[in-house]
Amino acid sequence: MKHGRYPFIIGFLIVPVAIYGTFVVAAYLQAFQLSFTNWRGFSPDVQYIGFDNFTKLFHDNTFWKAIQHHALLLVFMPLVTIGLALFFAFLLNVGGGSRGGRTTGVWGSKFYRVVFFFPQLLALALVAVIFARVYSPDESGLINGLLHQFGSGPVLFLADKNLALWSIMAVLIWQAVGFYVVLFSAGMGSIPTEIYEAAALDGATRGTLFFKVTLPLLWNTLQVAWVYLGIAAFDAFALVNVMSVDRGGPDGATTVLGLEIFRNMQDYAQFGYASAMGVVLFFLTLTFAALTLRVTRRETVEL
Partner 1 sequence: MTDIFKPEVDRRTLLRRAAAVGLLATPAVSMLSACVGGGSDDDDKADKPAGTVSANNPLGIKEDAPLEIVIFNGGLGTKYATDVDIPSYNKLFPNSKVTFNQTEEISTVVQPRFAQGSPPDMINNSGSKLMDQGALVQAGQVQDLTDLFAAPSVDISGKTVKDTLIPGTVEQGTFNGKPYVLNYAFTVFGLWYSGKLFKENNWTVPTTWADFTKLLDAMKAKGITPYGYAGANAPYYQYTVILASAAKIGGADILKNIDNLEDGAWTNDAVKQAAAAWAEVGAKYSNKAFLGLKHTEVQLQHDQYKVGLYPSGSWLENEQAKDTPAGFDYQLMPIPSVTTADKLPVESLYAAAGEQYFVAAKGKNPRGGMEFLRHMLSKAGAVGFTQLTKTLTVVAGATDGMEISPGLTSGNKALGAAGANTFSFRFDTWYKKLDDELRAATNELFYQGGTADKFCERMQKAADAIKKDSSIEKFTR
Q: Which residues bind partner 1 (CB under 8 A)?
A: 25-26, 29-30, 32-34, 36-48, 135-138, 144, 154, 156-159, 161, 245-247, 249-252, 263, 266-270, 273
From CA 265, how far away is CA 278, in angstroms rounded?
Answer: 11
Nearer to partner 1, 26 or 115 (CB): 26
Nearer to partner 1, 113 or 263 (CB): 263
| Least distance between partner 1 and beta carbon 140 (Å) | 8
| Least distance between partner 1 and beta carbon 288 (Å) | 22
Nearer to partner 1, 96 or 249 (CB): 249
Nearer to partner 1, 58 or 211 (CB): 58
| Least distance between partner 1 and beta carbon 241 (Å) | 12
Rg of the Cα trace of the chain? Answer: 24
Nearer to partner 1, 47 or 300 (CB): 47
| Least distance between partner 1 and beta carbon 267 (Å) | 5
For 174, residues 6+ apart whose C-beta sits below 8 A from its C-beta are 119, 127
| Least distance between partner 1 and beta carbon 199 (Å) | 51
Helix axes 271-295, 219-233, angle to 10 degrees: 160
From CA 135, how far away is CA 128, in angstroms rounded?
Answer: 10
Nearer to partner 1, 86 or 277 (CB): 277
| Least distance between partner 1 and beta carbon 171 (Å) | 15
Nearer to partner 1, 78 or 272 (CB): 272
Which among 143, 123, 122, 147 is positioned nearest to 132, based on CA atoms?
A: 143
| Least distance between partner 1 and beta carbon 276 (Å) | 12
